[in-house]
Amino acid sequence: MKLNIDGLLVYFPYDYIYPEQYSYMLELKRTLDAKGHGVLEMPSGTGKTISLLSLIVAYQKAYPLEVTKLVYCSRTVPEIEKVVEELRKLMDYYTKQTGAKNDFLALALSSRKNLCIHPEVSSLRFGKEVDGKCHSLTASYIRAQHHSNPSQPVCQFYEEFDTVGRQVPIPPGIYNLDDLKDFGRRKGWCPYFLARYAILHANIVVYSYHYLLDPKIADLVSKELAKKSVVVFDEAHNIDNVCIDSMSVNITRRTLDRCQTNVETLQNTISRIKETDAAKLREEYRRLVEGLKEANVARETDIYLSNPVLPDEILQEAVPGSIRTAEHFVGFMKRFLEYLKARLRIHHVVQESAPQFLKDIFEKVCIDRKPLRFCAERLRSLLRTLEIADIADFSAITLISHFATLVSTYSKGFTIIIEPFEDKTPTIANPVLHFSCMDPSIAIKPVFGRFQSVIITSGTLSPLDIYPRILDFRPVTVASFTMTLARTCLCPLIVGRGNDQVAMTSKFETREDFAVIRNYGNLLLEMSAIVPDGIVAFFTSYMYMENIVASWYEQGILENIQRNKLIFIETQDAAETSMALEKYQEACENGRGAILLSVARGKVSEGIDFVHHFGRAVIMFGVPYVYTQSRILKARLEYLRDQFQIRENDFLTFDAMRHAAQCVGRAIRGKTDYGLMIFADKRYARADKRGKLPRWIQEHLTDGSLNLTIDETVQLSKHFLRQMAQPFRREDQLGLSLLTLEQLQSEDMLQKIAQIAHQA
Amino acid sequence: MDDQGCPRCKTTKYRNPSLKLMVNVCGHTLCESCVDMLFVRGSGNCVQCNTPLRKSNFRVQLFEDPAIDKEVEIRKKVLKIYNKREFDFSTLKEYNDYLEQVEDIVFNLTNNVDVERTKQIMEQYQRDNRDIIQKNKAKLTREQEELEELLLQEQQDSEQRRLETLQEEKRQLQAKRKNKQALLDKLESSKLPAAVLLAQHKDRAAQLETQIEKQKQNVKPTNIFSTGIMMGQTVSLASVSRVEEALYVYQPLYIDTYGPPVPELDQLGRQGYLNHVRTASPQDQAGGYSSGLACHRAIQDAFSGLFPL
């Protein structure tokens, strides 16, 4: 179907379109026109991905000078593959309609582990091993050694790519990870380096968040992306946590021990090199005296994405004299390391700010702030000079050097917490130094600063105004779209009481209360009797789930449930969980019916969809608050309050509700799908919680569905399920929630569409 | 740390948890009891390297590696003498060379390379730069100053925050109590039915809540001084460079009237012009009016433009 979006010709690869998709594209077009950032919320299963792709591709074709590249960031490899498939569909449609040959290059990028075709390396199991092995075959000095000594092994795929691959551009087309591998095998080129090289001139790049947000990786992969790119973060409801994780550092005793061996290796290598090849060290020394000028020139000409770990001052200055020679630097690292060791030898929790830490380190071991700031850069230069092959080996000392640079660069937004033991096991000494980032805007700032449009989108972004605040940017469009439905296929219910009128809640005080646990059990039992096929139940934590299931077993509730349905449980072990999931789906498939007990914030709640009969009902037992006693969280809450004027409670509720919404949203994956959403906690009925649910759920939450008892819930559900079970054809949807081109162009429909976007 | 022990009496931390290891200038460890025993007379030789040591120089070992303890000790001594700051140098390069030189000295002393010569260099330097060393003793480096400033600010912030929240809570509590009291009073005195009064009370309580909410949201970020300077931004204390500019000179206004010269205001009376003008009444004069003003203006009007161009 060819659409006219605000004067832009958009090819849409399907014959029908949802009204909200049209509205979404309108909003998106406005954002691109304004060259600003946008926050867009649209329910899952309404075709976000294809709307995004078809509009941005059309925009790229119409204004090739305005938008040169689309960078699509998703979270997991399966999601990346899904996006590429949609893209392939779109491009096929283009060729069919216009008849012209496709001249677009789109490709997915993932880690070496997913792209390597070297027979030995690719058989390794862990990502880190693959990276290390690959590096030991492709590093520049290894290859130089290979020239003089052909017995030194190198990767023939990389060699092949390096000699011819860069001159011959990869032919236009759509490449997912497997396509890249095939192409690599055919040509004998390394697909990973090919992809990394090709993203520079590709029109569309699909990869994971980390390639943009994690400063260590972004520096390698994404720093040369053009300024006129559009960046899309899909499923971005957790983006703040990704940002924070990418800037935080945790140091344990083991890290320090490994670091110690690293330092020793460095020292030995230096003394060895000094005897054999002193010129090399002298060359490095000369370069450092002149300063890190190369990087500076590149940044000035605006070629690179700036790196939050490498602040601007460093580029303008030369390395301080005290760490210029290799021996002095190793001595410096030794002192820093011993200092950290001494700090970890404590018996009580310490929390301090970066300036306090810096003052203490100066008093104890005479380390100034300035050399600390250059630590990461200096270490990198040294490793390069010493030509150490296995970089993975040096991860410990690299981590420490990053910590040194961060702690001396940022005086705000970070906190240092040293805990002598874990909260759960106070008798076992396991000291950890958390250097925790509290401000997600630090990591994402370069992205917002560099690219002309950044789109943050997900099914659950409510309340919308909080994201611009915590990420510290100014969006031009903030909108939430609802789902237009031919029939109300979602039925949110808030169950507040059991049949005995005891309030149902996962509040801490009543957690152990038998009446509450029994009521939760009764609810599940009753639902298992009336809901067909699959039910997914979410608990607030693994511990809570274990407790409840144990007492259900004692009370005999489990036995009763098992008469109706089989029960599967998610555990912390990924292999076990995927086994449970597989069996759960099998049980749903063959009509036996099953219940999956899982945990909010777990693997199931984030990445697994329960379409159609795999999830006819989702029950959310309790409000999934985070563990509020953790010191890191407390520090972050305090920071949010002081810097962004977001109160603790607001943020905690926001965080709990976005996870609750994410959990219940697993059941509805499209308009023909239907499902019950049961919130089993009386606190959901309060206005402050209810108001933070996404608008597309809130709309269907009437006063009649608040604070129900189990009996009432069963009645309402029965009614709902019977209605939904009636045959539902495409014709029923046409004209209401599914439009043909003619219907779309009618006057009153356009008016309706204008109301879908809810400007926040 | 667990497997560390005294090299002389072989006691380990595991066997004696209260074991205290000491280290002296040579960088070799001894436990506290051995120190007490060997150095009863206040001085003696190191068991391992035979360096003459004093008992008073023994320190508790802070780090796992005693070499670091030794280095830090030496470094502190060296830095007391080599205490030049960045602004004592004209270029950054010189400063960096100086830093490297200091580092070399520390390195030599800790690793026993050319100790005698290095000591000589140090003494030479100390003699040459006596006054600078004295002067810089009291001064902190710029970075340390910044750190101190940040710490101070942090303290102030947290204190202020604490006070604010305390006050806020107090105020809220008072407002609520007042509201409750008002309800009781009304129930006592008013003629309206209790249900209505209760409803009113509920409304008011809700209003109060929303007000509090609003106030909370209105809290302004306190990151700007009253002078408009951002907190955390360091203000350079260097004097502002002088701007050289020509000063403004007043030039009296000259208007060509194209007429005969008009007599000055104070000459009007003498030349008899005022005889034909109405004299100002006392009321007029109170406001600063004089008959000369009107007359002067009238004459200006009359004279201007009399000559042809």
> Chain B within 8 Å of A282 (Cβ-Cβ)?
no
On the question of a cis peptide bond just before residue A463, with omega within 30 degrees of 0, the verdict is yes
Taking CA A157 as the corner, what is the angle to CA A151 and CA A162, rounded to the nearest 5 degrees?
95
pLDDT at A299: 42
**Is the pLDDT at B221 greater than 60, yes or no?**
no
Give the model's confidence band at A326: pLDDT under 50 very low, under 70 low, under 90 confident, else very high: confident
Cβ–Cβ of A364/B62 closer than 8 Å?
A: yes
- Spatial separation of the C-alpha atoms in residues A746 and A758, rounded to whole Å: 21
Measure in Å the smallest separation between the Cα of B167 and chain A Cα atoms. 17
pLDDT digits (tens, 9 = 90+) for B200-220: 888 888 888 787 767 655 555
Interface contact B164, partner A, CB < 8 A: no
- Asked if A724 contacts A489 with a C-beta cutoff of 8 angstroms, the reply is yes
Q: How many CB atoms lie within 10 A of CB A512?
A: 10
Contact A1, A17 (CB under 8 A): yes
Instruction: Quote the DSSP letter at residue A698.
Output: H
Q: Is the pLDDT of residue A315 over 70?
A: no
pLDDT confidence band for A678 (50 / 70 / 90): very high
- Cβ distance A645 to B99 less than 8 Å, yes or no, reads no
Taking CA atoms, what residue in A is nearest to B73? A365
Task: Decide if A324 and B150 are in contact by the 8 Å CB cutoff.
Answer: no
Contacting residues of B for A328, CB less than 8 Å apart: 100, 103-104, 107
pTM of the model: 0.78
Q: Is A700 on the interface with B (CB under 8 A)?
A: no
Residue A652: the pLDDT is 92
- Residue in B1, B98, B104 closest to A345 by CB: B1
How far apart CA A545 and CA B42 sit, in angstroms, is: 66
Q: CA-CA distance, A361 to A350, in Å (whole number)?
A: 15
pLDDT single digits (tens) A495-552: 999 999 999 988 888 888 889 999 999 999 999 999 999 999 999 999 999 999 999 9
Please give the pLDDT value at position A304.
47
CA distance B68 to chain A (A): 6
Query: Measuring CA to CA, how many Å separate B220 from each of A532, A644, A645?
Result: 54, 10, 8
Between A382 and A25, the more confident residue is: A25
3-state secondary structure B265-294: HHHCCCCCHHHHCCCCCHHHHHCCCCHHHH
| Residue A93 confidence (pLDDT) | 92
A756 pLDDT above the threshold of 80:
no
Q: What is the pLDDT of residue B217?
A: 56
- Residues in A closer than 8 angstroms to B221, CB to CB, are 643, 645
Q: Which two tokens stand for residue A155?
A: 């990767």
CA of B162 vs chain A CAs: smallest distance (Å): 12
Q: Is the CB of A79 inside 8 Å of chain B's CB atoms? A: no
Gap between the Cα atoms of B151 and B114, Å rounded: 41
What is the band of B239 on the pLDDT scale with cuts at 50, 70, 90? Answer: low
Q: What is the pLDDT of residue A302?
A: 42
Tell me which chain B residues have a C-beta less than 8 angstroms from the C-beta of A321.
95-103
Q: Do B103 and A369 touch (CB under 8 A)?
A: no
C-alpha A335, offset from chain centre: 36
pLDDT at B1: 45
Helix (H, G, I), strand (E, B) or coil at A107: strand
The CA-CA-CA angle for residues A495, A497, A503, to 5°, reads 120
Distance from CA of A338 to the nearest CA of B (A): 6
Compute the distance between CA of residue A1 and CA of residue A14 in angstroms, rounded to an integer: 6
Q: What is the mean pLDDT of residues B44-65?
A: 84
Highest mean pLDDT among A170-174, A368-372, A493-497, A644-648: A493-497
Helix locations, A345-459, DSSP H: 354-365, 369-373, 375-386, 395-409, 440-450
A209 pLDDT band, cuts 50/70/90, is confident
Strands (E) across A219-313 are located at 229-233, 249-252
Would you tell me how many other CB atoms lie within 10 Å of the CB of residue B76? 13
Judged by a CB distance cut-off of 8 A, whether residue A370 touches chain B is yes
pLDDT at A395: 82
Judge whether A253 is closer than 8 Å to chain B, CB to CB.
Answer: no
Among A594, A589, A593, A590, which residue's Cα sits nearest to residue A569?
Answer: A594
- CB of A293 within 8 A of CB of A314? no
Per-residue confidence (pLDDT) for residue A303, from 0 to 100: 41
B71–A contact, CB cutoff 8 A = yes
Instruction: Report the length, in residues, of chain A.
Output: 760
Q: Are strands A475-481 and A37-41 parallel, antiparallel or unpaired?
A: parallel
* pLDDT reading at B10 higher than 70: yes
Q: How far is CA A659 from CA A97, A621, A623, B180, in A?
A: 42, 12, 9, 39
Distance between CA B47 and CA B30 in Å, rounded? 9
The answer to whether residue B143 neighbours chain A at the CB level (below 8 Å) is: yes
Give B160's contacts in chain A (Cβ within 8 Å): none
pLDDT of residue A339: 92
- Find which of B77, B96, B152 to mutate to test the A interface (most A CBs within 10 Å of its CB): B96
Q: By the CB < 8 Å criterion, does A167 face chain B?
A: no
Give me the pLDDT at residue A727, please: 86
**Rounded mean pLDDT, A21-30:** 91
Looking up tokens 């005891």 gives A502
* Among chain A residues, CA nearest to B69: A365
Shortest alpha-carbon distance between residue B192 and chain A (Å): 31
Contacts of A246 (CB under 8 A, 6+ apart): A210, A213, A214, A215, A443
Instruction: Tell me the DSSP string of B156-225.
Output: HHHHHHHHHHHHHHHHHHHHHHHHHHHHHHHHHH--S-HHHHHHHHHHHHHHHHHHHHHHHHTPPP--B-
Contacts of A334 in chain B (CB under 8 A): 65, 68
Report the distance separating Cα A533 and Cα A612, nearest Å: 9
Using a pLDDT cut of 90, give the percent of chain A over it. 30
- Taking only the tens place, the pLDDT of each residue in B123-165 is 898 888 888 888 887 776 667 777 788 888 888 888 888 888 8
Interface touch B107/A320, C-beta < 8 Å? no
Cβ of residue A320 closer than 8 Å to a chain B Cβ = yes
- Where does the pLDDT of residue A314 fall: very low under 50, low under 70, confident under 90, or very high at 90 and above? low
Indicate the pLDDT class of residue A292, thresholds 50, 70 and 90.
low
Q: Which of A318, A358, A359 sits opposite B92 (nearest CB)?
A: A318
The pLDDT, as a whole number, for residue A301 is: 40
Per-residue pLDDT at A84: 93
Which of B68, B93, B102, B164 to mutate to probe the A interface, most A CBs <10 Å? B68
Q: What is the distance in angstroms between the Cα of B43 and the nearest Cα belonging to chain A?
A: 27
Q: Inter-chain contact B71–A335, Cβ cutoff 8 Å?
A: yes
Spatial separation of the C-alpha atoms in residues A386 and A194, rounded to whole Å: 27
Contact residues, chain B, for A324 at CB < 8 Å = 96, 100
Chain A residue whose CA is closest to B1: A345
Cβ count within 10 A of residue A218 = 23
pLDDT higher than 70, residue A759: no
With contacts defined as CB-CB under 8 Å, which chain A residues touch B151? 353, 355-356, 359
Residue A731 has pLDDT above 80, yes or no: no
Q: Measured between alpha carbons, how far is A201 from B169 in angstroms, rounded to an integer?
A: 59
Q: How far apart are CA A544 and CA A549, in angstroms?
A: 9
Interface contact B219, partner A, CB < 8 A: yes
Indicate yes or no: CB of A318 within 8 angstroms of CB of B103: no
* Highest mean pLDDT: which range of A289-303, B4-18, B172-186: B172-186
Set of chain A residues whose Cβ sits within 8 Å of the Cβ of B148: 359
Tokens representing A288 are: 């450092």
Residue A296 has pLDDT above 50, yes or no: no
Q: Write down the mean pLDDT value for chain A.
A: 86
- Residue among A335, A355, A645 minimizing CB distance to B151: A355
**Three-point CA angle B144, B147, B148, nearest 5°:** 90
Residue from B103, B142, B160 whose CB has the most chain A CBs within 10 Å, to mutate: B103
Four-residue CA torsion sign, A666, A667, A668, A669: positive
A245, pLDDT greater than 80: yes
* Cα separation of the two ends of chain A: 30
**Nearest CB to A369 within list B75, B92, B143:** B143
Element (H, E) at A73: strand A69-74
Lowest mean pLDDT among A569-578, A706-715, B188-197: B188-197
Query: Which residue of chain A has the CA closest to B72?
Result: A365
The CA–CA distances, whole Å, from B79 to A9, A58, A362, A375, B239 equal 71, 65, 12, 21, 30
- Give the pLDDT confidence score for residue A312 in this predicted structure: 59
- CA nearest A342 in B: which residue? B63
User: B258-293 pLDDT, tens per residue?
Assistant: 888 888 888 888 888 888 888 888 888 888 888 888
d(CA A32, CA A619) in angstroms, rounded, equals: 39
Higher pLDDT, B224 or B15: B15
Q: Given B68, B100, B150, which is nearest A335 (Cβ)?
A: B68
Task: Give the three-state DSSP class for B92.
Answer: helix
Taking the Cβ of residue A647 and every Cβ of chain B, the question of whether any pair is shorter than 8 Å is answered with yes
In this structure, chain B runs to a length of 309
A649 inside 8 A of chain B by CB: no
A 10 A CB-CB count for A431 gives 19
pLDDT reported for residue A718: 94
Contacting residues of A for B109, CB less than 8 Å apart: none
Separation between Cα atoms, residue B269 and residue B275, nearest integer Å: 8
As a whole number of angstroms, the distance between CA B224 and CA B105 comes to 45
- Residue A647 pLDDT: 82
Of A318, A328, A338, the CB nearest to B63: A338
The residue whose two tokens read 């790519």 is A161
Rg (CA), chain B: 43
Is A318 within 8 Å of chain B by CB? yes
Give yes or no for A196 touching B (CB within 8 A): no
For B90-130, the pLDDT digits (tens) are 888 888 888 888 888 888 888 888 888 888 988 898 888 88
pLDDT value at residue B305: 85
